[in-house]
Amino acid sequence: MALTKTEARAQLRARGLRATAPRVAVLIELARATGPLSYSEVLARLDEGAWDPTTVYRNLIKLRDAGMATTLGRVDGIDRYELVREGQPAHAHFLCSACGQLACLPSSVTASLAADGRWAAAVENATVQLRGTCPDCLP
């Protein structure tokens, strides 16, 4: 889903964050991504040298802390960030042991990650990660 600068600024302000140019750029890159991105991948997608690397990292943390992005915990020692999209259900991810790609899996591949009944209010988030060899790397 493409996100314009105007939409990005509005979303940031709605979460109580200042809409700085680097923060807007990082949010737009997360919105463009088709899967979770590492800090290095976000940095590479931004214009070469446009932003200080420390500023980019701090903005990823700010977006995570504001609930606008989620962190997929330390996949092979590297945090990956994914935009939290309104109405998007929690979903599982697949880590390819051959190429290292981390991909979002469709809900048809995994069971629902939603909690019902008395557990609905207790579960704050869910992370499911499957590992193996992705279809592109299979012989």
> pLDDT tens for residues 82-115?
888 775 666 677 778 888 777 777 767 666 556 6
Q: Are 120 and 96 in contact (CB under 8 A)?
A: no
pLDDT for residue 74: 59
As a whole number of angstroms, the distance between CA 63 and CA 44 comes to 18
* Residue bearing tokens 């509005």: 10
Q: What average pLDDT does this structure show over 38-54?
A: 88
- Rounded CA gap, 103 and 115, in Å? 23
> What is the biggest distance separating any 2 CA atoms in the chain, rounded to whole angstroms?
50
pLDDT attached to residue 66: 94
Contact, 82 vs 106, CB < 8 A?
A: no
Place of tokens 């609905």: 120
Helix (H, G, I), strand (E, B) or coil at 75: strand
The pTM assigned to this predicted structure is 0.73
Query: Distance between CA atoms of 116 and 130, rounded to whole angstroms?
Result: 23
Distances (CA, A) of 90 to 4, 49, 85, 95: 24, 34, 10, 17
Q: Give yes or no for residue 77 having a pLDDT over 70.
A: yes
